Chains A and B, each alone.
Chain A
């Protein structure tokens, strides 16, 4: 396997999908996982705990400049953009919202694509706006592997459809399909 990182973007309707994916991945999953998920900006507590209930993977909210490690999921903190630096460290930013969002999925994907290029796996899930579509296209442009949750399987299909409007992903999968695909990477 040649991938070095997995980034998952999601918004409204993605929580149960993320829980499903994380509950199916082994503790020794070989890649760092970046979770760029839209969330309430003023609620700093509880999200990690909620995601962790069924996850074998350790989930943390990173500090600025944290070095990502395989088998750990890094959840973008509330009210911060989560970027990936050229040295592949996590860089947090309080710069302006993008697509009315902070964290912005587009920014996470764009910067991770710059850092990991063809070594990045990008997954976009259910959501009610277009954030993430342009970023996932960039992952694809660099030769990374891209997965879009099947809009018919998504609670809200706007985000997957926005991605499909501007790019052709490697796979369009249901939540079970995404979990199965990622699980085979071990």
Chain B
């Protein structure tokens, strides 16, 4: 087994170089998470030291894409936490019938699992024309969604199980077209959606939205950036609108908590006070 043990100075060096390689500061990622991801990357690519890694990243540009994907992308899972999606469906989307301006925003939408889950739910409810979906990525290198939105079939069973837990049926495949061993979502899912480049801390995005879904993103960042992101995003939510964080994330700042009521504690759903 190739074991690459990375130390603090190595992580700092790689984070520093990342600005040159990608224009992205990996130093914003919480240290312990960044460290294990770098170690796992080294193990996968049989690299024995951080110097070995830096050397390869400097000389093999194609490896940089793989590295960046490894750092930012998790396993693709549709309808992660079916109870959360049930809550979104039953407690929030039901009000859309009387609110034609309903707008949902997915910042940091890199792989698109959450986005695609929502689009399928929206289609199931027949609300595609009434709910506008905005999604954004902070960097074109991270925008896998914009590159075609294609998934491996062999890992699809988990998506189907989650969907069955949510909707009680397992015909999720009606929303996909099979091409070789890949699955491509039906184009119809993407009507009334809009993509744009957006940085969660300073993006010039003027529209206010009814719901932001930003689950399991904050836990990747250091506390300073967590605060900057939440400060910025919550300004985009309309009064009476909702913020969805990961089920093990919560609003950390007292001032931000003041602005919200806890709508569903178990699913980390917050509602902005009117």
Contacts and interface: CB of A to CB of B under 8 A. Distances in A.
A159 to B, nearest CB: 16
Contact of B74 (A77, A84, A94): A94
Instruction: Categorize the interface residue count of chain A.
Output: 20 to 34
B250 A94 contact: no
A92 B32 CA distance: 10
Nearest to A104: B36
Interface string A107-148: 100110011000000000000000000100000000000000
B75 A91 contact: no
13 contacts: A61-B248, A62-B248, A63-B249, A83-B32, A83-B36, A91-B219, A93-B36, A94-B246, A95-B40, A96-B74, A97-B75, A111-B35, A111-B36
Nearest to A91: B32
A134 B5 CA distance: 12
Interface of A: 42, 44, 61-65, 77, 79-80, 83-86, 91-98, 107, 110-111, 114-115, 134
Given A44-B81, A92-B219, A80 B248 contact: yes
Scoring A86, A95, A96, A114 by chain B CB atoms within 10 A of each residue's CB, the highest score goes to: A95
B40 to A, nearest CB: 7
A49 B192 CA distance: 44
Does more than half of chain A's interface fall in helix, strand or loop, or is it mixed? loop
B74 to A, nearest CB: 5
Given A85-B30, A95-B33, A96-B74, A42 B247 contact: no
A80 B75 CA distance: 12
A56 B35 CA distance: 36
B161 A42 contact: yes
Contact of B31 (A42, A61, A85): A85
Contacts of A62: 248
A44 B33 contact: no
Contacts of A42: 82, 161-162, 165
Interface string B70-83: 00001100001111
A151 to B, nearest CB: 21
B220 interface: yes
A117 to B, nearest CB: 13
